[in-house]
Amino acid sequence: MIPTVKRRKLTKFKIMQKIINVLAIASTVVSASVVGGGLYVYLNRASIIDGIKSQAVEAALGSLGGLGGAGAAGILQGESSLPIGTNDLSPDAPQASPQSPQALQPF
């Protein structure tokens, strides 16, 4: 009876050892990928920063519509099709007369 118990313990030990080996290999793979990713970012940080800067400039100028780039040169030269608001300030526009406020009429 003693050899049977010893054999079962060895079998459980081998299974447990295989599980531990698989976890150790998985941990090594994860650690190596984290180090590799960090090394890639460190070595390519200049190109990554330049790419982010160009995307930020594109997003900023793209939100301006036609005002960015060549459109801004036309505005600076007086070729704007945008309203400038001077018609609202002309003296010919009807002005509100300063009259006394009327009392509210009850319903």
DSSP 64: T
* Burial environment of residue 68 by CB neighbours within 10 A (0 to 12, 13 to 18, 19 or more): middle
- For the chain, the first-to-last Cα distance in angstroms comes to 108
Cα→Cα distances 34→20, 27, 68, 74, 76, Å? 21, 11, 41, 51, 52
Based on the structure, what is the number of domains in the chain? 1
Domain that holds residue 40: 2-65
pLDDT tens, N- to C-terminus, the chain (107 residues): 455 666 677 788 899 999 999 999 999 999 999 999 999 999 999 999 999 999 999 888 877 765 555 555 555 555 556 566 666 555 665 566 656 556 666 66
**Is 21 a member of any domain?**
yes
pLDDT at 104: 65
**Is 81 a member of any domain?**
no
Token reading at 9:
């313990």
With contact defined as beta carbons under 8 Å apart, do 74 and 81 qualify? no
Tell me if the pTM is above 0.85: no
pLDDT at 19: 95
The torsion defined by the Cα of 61, 66, 70 and 73, in degrees rounded to 10, comes to: -100
With contact defined as beta carbons under 8 Å apart, do 27 and 19 qualify? no
